Structure 1
Amino acid sequence: MAFIGHRRFLGRNHPYRKQKAAFNNFPEHSPHPVPLTGEEVLCRVEEEVLNWLFGKKYPQPPYKGAEDETRPCWKKKSIFFKLDYWKFLPVRHCLDVMHIGKDVCDSLIGTLLNIPGKTKDGAKTRLDLVELGIRLELQPNFEGPKKQCLPLVPEDYSSNISNLVSMDDLRLSGLKSHDSHALMQQLLPIAIRGVLEKPVRIAVIRLCLFFNEICCKTIDVSRLPKIQSDLVETLCELEKYFPPSFFDIMVHLTVHLVREVELCGPVFFRWMYPFERYMKVCKGYVRNRNRPEGCIAECYTAEEAVEFIAKTFFNDNTVGIPAAPNREDKPTSGATVVSVYGKLFDQAYLCLLQNTDEIRSYFSLKNEFPRFENNKKWLTDKQNKTFADWLKEMVAGQLSEPGCDIPEIVRWLGNKPSNEVPKFSGYKIRGVQDKRLVTDDMSFYGVMNEIWELEYENFRFPIFKCDWVENGRGVQVDDFGFTLVNLNRKGHLNNTSILGRCVEQIFYVEDPVDPLWSVVIRIPTRDYHDFETDDEIGNILINHHPAAAAMSSIEFSGHLADEEEMGYLRVGKEDIVVDG
């Protein structure tokens, strides 16, 4: 069963409603469908359940098509309707975004790569197109009793993506739900940048960005109508290039996700990731495979009893749950001590002073050159060269006075650290990020080369030495919203140091269009908020930052009255021969 006809969800005057050849050869005049209320659903259920009995002894009548109005929509009445308030709920059953995203990703990957058993394109699909009377250029040609020759898929529908992947070594099989989650929201939009035509590329990227946007931890409610309209346009655009068999129930359910977000809040409050994780815990309780339910019940009861006794009588924390999050910054590798002097050491020390809140206020106090107030660049360079020595003298002078109240960290940072600097190959940064107001919307991209640790007696500060990319000619944002960097264009050579807590980890993916450029991908953030609760399921929020900043617009070109036939056949390619 195919769920096409998403033009019904468009506005009354949308251009897609008048197009014929691009869809099903008919204009769309049907109004926007209105969701049934709980009372209407209960009324229909009570009528249909009385007419059609439920069970294997009472098989349902055969389906006769869209004109079969006597076929029941529901087989049984839900037990939840016995609750007095159930019929008044606007959302009685939440859609599982986790499995919807996984199934949509599998359909996209299987169709684009033409994976056997997972593709939505084939001989039966082409015969459906013939029966519907659309895209007749794609009908199969018979070459013998057991072979069918399929024309190559539409030019704007797919591409030879399978040539870019070695299916023998890198098979896309056995993907978990979160693997599909990350693949669709981050990697798939980049993979199709150089191998698909612009119309289908925009449609697929917009679908990926839709899942990324509704899975965010914070959602702007005022943007929900815009997100819904963009999604409907995207589905209509996909109907132009993908076969009807692609639009199964899971693809269609994306239309209703925005309504649930508006009524129920962000997706992560109700998706299945925490429950799936807890099911893995329950499976670990099984010792006797012949009695799995009993094993789970006994182990769960024993664990609850032990935790209750430990918490009540011994005031002990729950096993396996830390009392507080670990915010300690620490290296992940062994140290190699090197001696650092000169300009590199002064840059690292100045970076530490500039990014310490207690020291930053002293920069405004040092103003020994009032004549050069208008020359900001010269004044900044002069201040950076002399600030360390001035700070040392100022701290020493205040310490000599009785009753000084200089903070401890200022006393230590007034003197330079040791020139014997330990170097590491890895460092874990878990400290609290900078919470100051950001007044400059500019990001700096680079590659980390070395990790230093400036040591004092009571403090340690990780310093990263990076090769920064020139912001002018080395960073750009393309038409699809992707941030691209050219790692060969280096800039900011006089300021290569940065404090560890001021950076955010990202990684780069080589751009399929131009190998000189790389696409910026941000690492998903994980926030643990259940340290002070007794919830065993937990609430781990996984937020994938999109590679593209915003949805690309769809161009409505040409005159709808003089609509031309769309070209679905590739030129100069061989046909695909499949078993009949």
Structure 2
Amino acid sequence: MSVSHSTWPVVLMPYNLPPWLCMKKPFLFLSLLIPGPSAPGNNIDVYMQPLVDELKELWDTGVNTCDASTKSYFTLLASLLWTVSDFPAYANLSGWSTKGKLACPSCHKETISTRLSNSHKEIFMAHRHWLESLHPFRMDKDSFDGTEEREGLPRSLTGEQVLTELKDFEIKFGKLVKDNPSLPYNWKKRNGKTKDYLKGRRDLEEMGIRHELHLEPLSNGKVYLPPACFEKDKKEKEKFCNVLKEVKVPDGYAANISRCIQVKPTPKMLGLKSHDNHILMQQLLPVAIRNILPKHVRSVIMKLCRYYRQLCSKVLNPNDLFNMEKDIEKILYDLERIFPPSFFDVMIHLSVHLASEARLGGPVHYRWMYPIERYLGTLKSYVRNKSKPEGSIAEGYLAEECLSFCSLYLASDVETIHNKTSRNHDDGGDDTVLPIFCMPGQPIGATNVVKLGYDTLGIAHSHVLEHLNILSHQNPKKRKRDLQHLHSQEFEEWLSDYVDEDMTSRDNRITSDIETLANGPSEVVKKYKGYIINGFQFHIKDVEKNMTTQNSRVILQALTSSFSSARDNDPIVGDVTYYGVLKDIIELQYSDEMKVVLFHCDWISSGSRIKVDENGFTTLDFRGLKQTKEPYILASQAQQVFYVADPVRKDWKVVIKTTPRDNFDMDEQICIDDVETHLQSDTPMGPQLVENETIDMVRGDLDGTIVDDDTLVAATDKNQIDHDQGRICECSTYVLEQGS
């Protein structure tokens, strides 16, 4: 609840629900509330014993339950699949200590760790275990931890092995029990700091690796610290923070990350929440480091970001997970070649097991902490009496449960917690009319009615083909390119005459929808400042100037035909991606119930205004962009992206693609064939490097640091050097002199 008070709720989540209901607030059960003011520690077993007994009953015998749909009774059985917690709480729940030299619960007793005598911490750098037995990196001592790697892959610990290891031990629950037997390995029961820069250099010397980064003694009694390849100077830090400071994301996509960024006087990030770090790591970090780190450093960081991006997909392909297991192995040993040993604590090491866990447990959305953290915020909001927080939470939870139960008996047209629409819900459209009029969506904000002379929107496919055939017979010598141009000019008038002729002959070839379309829209149209469609919330560019969100960026995936030269007669058909900025939202009224919504945008699709760099990022230049001849698209065709300032080219923008937050594509065949279409954002791979390429450990474009040797010793002993502030610590008791 606060720094001085810790309340532990225990929540049950049923998983036999569709994705759009699972892990949502109405279906979370508060089964236990462990009171504060301190954390329960190992006493959590005592508190959870009644809950464990009930879960055992549900697994062994079940309970007699009524089926409301069939009005019959059945025996309900349930199983506990897994527990969801942060890593420190994992130790209390599982009984395996997450500290010390065997901190990894997946590698268990086969965990390989090293104790750094200068940094005073356990590190986990044995990721070469996952390489093939004859891989050259296994024998490369200098690039890694100073040893040759001859061990094989750690074997996974099975449930039967756990029972075998602990079967002869009788454990009493509770942390006050003093006579429990000593358990093997890291078993406790049967049931991050800054990486010190100077200490890290001493660790390198002691391990006998990366000699180019060792402290270099000078003739005046001082020592020189060469700048490492991952170092940044103050200007580069300012560039990094400036990119994040200007970030605006779509509505509902993430929090306002820019509020956590400080550029002056000292560039730094502060106050980031867990989901902020999630978005930063997976999407924004690759953009921000594009030009401030050497190629080999940013390449491996971008690959790590992409790994987490793929891991957090809404749909996971088992075949892709096998490839991801191989990818993370290479990423981690590439990181070992670059960053200091003190970087590799157990949290970095755990990345190697995540893809394997996803193969066993499925998509990570059902096992991560974000829904729980949001629910904890709801529980905290129940507290009215801060002297009795647990009582307030229990009372608020019971009151809401009662109201939720009563709401089931209200009429279906009354909005309750059970039928509440999603954040960006549209009406779904009308399937009984012509597809052009079957457009979902709902406007946002005030409506502006104006009189405009827009052309008729002619979208009737069979009549389009018929008109093209007529033009082809009338103009047999014209090229297809000229015929298409002629068609776009004459189709509206031809369709109107075609409908009039049909009505005169009374042949009933024209439906009422086609007649309405041919008559054209009203000259009086409606203009909106915002519109919700396709699961996105769009705003026009002028509205978002004073907003912290960015909802005016549009992408259109189109199948178009083009001609490589004026002489070509056969068009080249292919996919073209158009990137735009929404300027206006217009509703054309064809009849009382038939309407068409258009987006008026500035577009870029090709030419010098769009570039794809070596990192795989698409960048755009909208400066001085002239309006195209066809600036309008159907609102139903629009998808949303957001643009981030390009740190390489001034005034250019980097494109980041998104998908709707509530989009769950249940088409099994699509899920199997093309998992990439389900990614919320496709993160580029970064620049590609040669497998055994020699990397520079020292940045030649940065100045090193000269440090007095006595100061170095004192700082090492008292832990006064702060690497995050650059290699110079402004401390009144130490004097560090910038060297050349």
Confirm or deny a common fold (TM above 0.5): yes
Relative distance call for 1:52 and 1:24 in structure 2 (3 A) is farther
Q: Structure 1, residues 499-526: CA drift from partner, whole Å, max 9, x if none? A: 1111112222232222264211124521
Please say which of residues 184-193 and 38-47 is displaced more in the overlay. 38-47
Residues 408-487 of structure 1 aligned to structure 2 (within 5 Å): 408-430=512-534, 440-456=574-590, 457-487=592-622
CA distance in 1, matches of 2:177, 2:636: 67
- Structure 1 alignment gaps of length 5 or more: 62-68, 79-106, 108-117, 530-541, 559-563
CA distance in 2, matches of 1:308, 1:336: 42
Residues 384-423 of structure 1 aligned to structure 2 (within 5 Å): 384-400=488-504, 404=508, 406-423=510-527
Q: Structure 1, residues 528-547: CA drift from partner, whole Å, max 9, x if none? A: 67xxxxxxxxxxxx963034
Residue 75 (1) aligns with residue 188 (2)? yes
SS at match of 1:484: strand
Contact 1:148–1:577, Cα closer than 8 Å, also in 2: no
RCO higher in structure (CA 8 A, sep ≥6): 1
CA distance in 2, matches of 1:299, 1:4: 48
Contact 1:470–1:491, Cα closer than 8 Å, also in 2: no
Give 1:500's aligned residue.
Answer: 635
CA distance in 2, matches of 1:174, 1:56: 36
CA distance in 2, matches of 1:566, 1:70: 46
Deviation at 1:324, TM superposition (A): 5.0
Residue 15 (1) aligns with residue 136 (2)? yes
Relative distance call for 1:190 and 1:149 in structure 2 (3 A) is farther
Aligned sequence identity (%): 33
Residue 320 (1) aligns with residue 417 (2)? yes
Number of residues paired by the alignment?
A: 503
Residues 55-66 of structure 1 aligned to structure 2 (within 5 Å): 55=175
Residue 213 (1) aligns with residue 310 (2)? yes
Deviation at 1:442, TM superposition (A): 2.4
CA distance in 2, matches of 1:468, 1:59: 74
Contact 1:307–1:318, Cα closer than 8 Å, also in 2: no
SS at match of 2:285: helix
Give 1:364's aligned residue.
Answer: 465
Contact 1:149–1:577, Cα closer than 8 Å, also in 2: no
CA distance in 2, matches of 1:208, 1:317: 44
Give 1:196's aligned residue.
Answer: 293
Residue 130 (1) aligns with residue 265 (2)? no
CA distance in 1, matches of 2:166, 2:501: 85
Contact 2:601–2:631, Cα closer than 8 Å, also in 1: yes
Residues 332-371 of structure 1 aligned to structure 2 (within 5 Å): 332-341=444-453, 345-346=454-455, 349=456, 352-354=457-459, 359-366=460-467, 367-371=469-473
Relative distance call for 1:208 and 1:178 in structure 2 (3 A) is same
- Structure 2 alignment gaps of length 5 or more: 1-121, 242-262, 428-440, 537-554, 561-572, 665-677, 706-726, 735-740
Relative distance call for 1:54 and 1:167 in structure 2 (3 A) is farther
Relative distance call for 1:188 and 1:55 in structure 2 (3 A) is same
Give 1:84's aligned residue.
Answer: none
CA distance in 2, matches of 1:500, 1:362: 22
Deviation at 1:199, TM superposition (A): 0.2
Deviation at 1:330, TM superposition (A): 3.1
Over the residues paired in the alignment, what is the CA RMSD in angstroms? 3.8
SS at match of 2:656: strand
Please say which of residues 432-441 and 2-11 is displaced more in the overlay. 432-441
Relative distance call for 1:265 and 1:151 in structure 2 (3 A) is same
Aligned letter for 1:568?
V
Give 2:375's aligned residue.
Answer: 278
Give 2:690's aligned residue.
Answer: 555
CA distance in 2, matches of 1:177, 1:521: 21
Give 2:225's aligned residue.
Answer: 151
Q: Structure 1, residues 227-278: CA drift from partner, whole Å, max 9, x if none? A: 1111111111111111112112211111111111111111112222222222
Which one of the candidate residues 9, 31, 43 is aligned to 2:164?
43
Relative distance call for 1:148 and 1:71 in structure 2 (3 A) is farther
Q: Structure 1, residues 44-64: CA drift from partner, whole Å, max 9, x if none? A: 2446x6799984776999xxx
Q: Structure 1, residues 147-201: CA drift from partner, whole Å, max 9, x if none? A: 9977254125656532333154874211111111111111110110010000001
Residue 258 (1) aligns with residue 355 (2)? yes
Give 2:481's aligned residue.
Answer: 377
Aligned letter for 1:545?
S
Deviation at 1:126, TM superposition (A): 2.5
CA distance in 1, matches of 2:366, 2:204: 41
Residue 181 (1) aligns with residue 278 (2)? yes
More strand by share: 2
CA distance in 2, matches of 1:42, 1:528: 42
Relative distance call for 1:138 and 1:287 in structure 2 (3 A) is same
